[in-house]
């Protein structure tokens, strides 16, 4: 299972390919993905077997095999179904944009469906190339929004010219992740705002 090699199907399943408008297909597909996400959250990647998904979802095992080559492809599809980049808030000020995005990240990591999934994906990405690719793609999409916001802030003069947007990103998103996954503290909007304000303060005085 873990030594499976990932074929071309994984490579080209970018968002994902419906390929069939038959409501029966879409129904079973949706049920399978939803159940897979449940199992991923509750028990992790390794325990999210086709067997287990079939049993809980009520969709026959053979039906699942008709739509996915194997466990890895199904899990990747499930991940892809929840990892959505945030919208650009564009409030007008860098501070409010960042607070908005950071609050969203904090919420996603605490209560959202992706809460328990992020670490599973990150861990899998350490070893399995296809998970690494998905993780990279997801991070890039999410970061693109944040980097845009920061770059806009620099252009407006809310951050000094020459500021490295990627560094600001790490300084802001990092503490949220860290508090959630290592310090095990609460990551609420107040904490998110505190982080943003503190980091912006660090750039105010050269």
Partner DNA sequence: GCGTAACGCTACGCGAGTGTAGCGAAAACT
Partner DNA sequence: AGTTTTCGCTACACTCGCGTAGCGTTACGC
Q: Which residues bind a copy of itself (CB under 8 A)?
A: 2-3, 42-47, 116, 119-120, 122-124, 126-127, 136, 139, 143, 166-167, 169-171, 173-179, 181-185, 194-195, 198-199, 201-205
Kindly state whether residue 25 participates in binding DNA, applying the rule CB under 7 A.
yes
Q: How far is CA 3 from CA 6, 36, 128, 195, in A?
A: 9, 20, 9, 41
Rounded to 5 degrees, what angle do the CA atoms 12, 16, 20 make?
Answer: 110
Residue 130 token pair: 């296809």
Q: Which residues contact 132 (CB under 8 A, 6 or more apart)?
A: 124, 125, 126
- Cβ proximity to a copy of itself: between 28 and 149 the closer is 149
| Closest distance of CB 44 from DNA, Å | 12
| Closest distance of CB 20 from a copy of itself, Å | 32
Query: Rounded to whole angstroms, how far apart are CA atoms 163 and 76?
Result: 36
Kindly state whether residue 67 participates in binding DNA, applying the rule CB under 7 A.
yes
Q: Which residues bind DNA (CB under 7 A)?
A: 1, 4, 20-25, 27-29, 47, 49-52, 58-63, 65-67, 70-71
């Amino acid at each position: 299972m873990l030594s499976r090699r990932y074929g071309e199907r994984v490579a080209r399943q970018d968002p994902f390919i419906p390929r069939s408008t038959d409501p029966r297909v879409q129904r079973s597909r949706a049920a399978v993905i939803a159940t897979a996400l449940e199992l991923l959250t509750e028990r992790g990647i390794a325990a999210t077997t086709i067997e287990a998904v079939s049993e809980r979802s009520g969709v026959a095992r053979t039906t699942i095999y008709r739509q996915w080559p194997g466990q890895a492809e199904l899990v990747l599809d499930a991940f892809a179904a929840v990892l959505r980049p945030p919208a650009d808030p564009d409030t007008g000020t860098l501070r409010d944009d960042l607070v908005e995005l950071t609050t969203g990240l904090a919420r996603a990591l605490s209560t959202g469906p992706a809460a328990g999934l992020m670490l599973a994906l990150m861990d899998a990405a350490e070893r399995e190339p296809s998970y690494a690719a998905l993780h990279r793609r997801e991070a890039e999409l999410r970061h693109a929004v944040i980097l845009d916001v920061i770059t806009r802030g620099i252009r407006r003069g809310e951050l000094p010219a020459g500021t490295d947007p990627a560094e600001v990103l790490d300084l802001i998103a990092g503490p949220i992740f860290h508090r959630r996954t290592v310090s095990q503290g609460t990551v609420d909007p107040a904490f998110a705002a505190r982080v943003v304000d503190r980091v912006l303060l660090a750039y105010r005085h050269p």
